[in-house]
């Protein structure tokens, strides 16, 4: 399985952010996106996850294969940790949440309402959700934000296991990860237009 991005241009609020970007990510491979704040990493990841259409260009190999974890954890705050994972497992046609609970050290938090978790605990739950999707391509936006050192290690172990199983990971991060990864600095593909004047394509900011 190879994820291919060809001559891709992406926009936020109708304003081009990146233009003409091409790269591949193979099975068992991780790609780290780098670039300064506002360079377009989130926009690129959202486009690859199918949350917004590209301006132009092509993404192949992502169809029905992507699990996305972003800044907003998208957790159901009135469901427990166990119920959240069970819900997401069912959405993706899976049933066993135990590996996800164990991998992110959520055993003792299983019956807690997600809304009552700390920021780092919420992030662990959001990342555990990746494991119950059964999807091979993980697209991750700053996955280690709010995680303590132990939790970062749990995350790195989960990624290493995912890669060893033939999965792929594309992630934006400002840290140096503890697993092997290619690095792509997207700065050279930044669009020049800076005329956004308050434009946005978000329904809720």
Ligand X SMILES: Nc1ncnc2c1ncn2[C@@H]1O[C@H](COP(=O)(O)OP(=O)(O)OP(=O)(O)O)[C@@H](O)[C@H]1O
Binding residues vs ligand X (CB under 6 A):
12-13, 17, 35, 37-43, 172, 196, 199-202
Handedness of CA 101, 106, 110, 115 (dihedral sign): negative
Any idea what DSSP says for residue 113?
Answer: B
Q: Whole-number minimum distance, CB 13 to ligand X, in Å?
A: 3
Please, what is the minimum distance in Å from the beta carbon of residue 46 to ligand X? 8
Burial 32-62 (b: 16+ CB within 10 A, else e): bbebeeebbbbbbbbbbbeeeebbebebebb
Residue pair 7/22 in contact by the 8 Å Cβ criterion: yes
Residue nearer to ligand X on the CB measure, 53 or 93: 53
Shortest Å distance, C-beta 18 to ligand X: 8
Other residues' Cβ atoms within 10 Å of the Cβ of residue 25: 23
Q: Which is nearer to ligand X, 93 or 198 (CB)?
A: 198
Question: Which structure tokens are listed for 95?
Answer: 């049933």
Smallest distance, ligand X to C-beta of residue 111, A: 34
Taking the least distance from each CB to ligand X, the nearer of 11 and 117 is 11
Q: Output the CA–CA distances (angstroms, integers) from residue 171 to 34, 41, 116, 148, in the order listed.
A: 9, 9, 27, 18
Looking at beta carbons only, is 93 or 205 nearer to ligand X? 205
Strand 2-12 vs strand 15-26: parallel, antiparallel, or unpaired?
antiparallel
Contact between 10 and 55 under an 8 Å Cβ cutoff? The reply is yes
Choose between 23 and 87: whose C-beta lies nearer to ligand X. 23
* Spacing of C-alpha 144 from chain mean position: 11
Residue 42 CB, nearest approach to ligand X (Å):
3
**Contact criterion met (CB below 8 Å) for 106 and 141:** no
- Measured from the CB atom, the residue of 40 and 177 that comes closer to ligand X is 40
CB of 102 to ligand X, least distance (A): 30
């Amino acid at each position: 399985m190879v994820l291919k991005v060809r001559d891709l241009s992406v926009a936020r609020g109708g304003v081009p952010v990146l233009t003409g970007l091409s790269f591949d990510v193979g099975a068992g491979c991780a790609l780290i996106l780098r670039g300064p704040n506002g360079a377009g990493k989130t926009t690129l990841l959202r486009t690859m996850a199918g949350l917004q259409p590209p301006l132009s260009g092509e993404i192949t190999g992502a169809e029905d294969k992507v699990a996305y974890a972003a800044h907003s954890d998208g957790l159901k705050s009135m469901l427990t940790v166990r119920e959240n994972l069970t819900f997401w497992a069912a959405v993706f046609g899976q049933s066993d949440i135990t590996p996800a609970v164990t991998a992110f050290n959520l055993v003792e938090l299983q019956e807690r309402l997600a809304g009552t978790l700390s920021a780092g605990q919420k992030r662990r739950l959001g990342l555990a959700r990746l494991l119950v999707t059964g999807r091979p391509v993980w697209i991750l936006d700053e996955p280690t934000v709010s995680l303590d050192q132990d939790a970062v290690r749990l995350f790195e172990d989960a990624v290493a296991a995912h890669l060893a199983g033939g999965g792929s990971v594309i992630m934006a991060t400002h840290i140096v990860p503890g697993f092997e990864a290619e690095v792509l600095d997207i700065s050279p593909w930044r669009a020049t237009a800076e005329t956004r004047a308050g434009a946005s394509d978000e329904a809720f900011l």
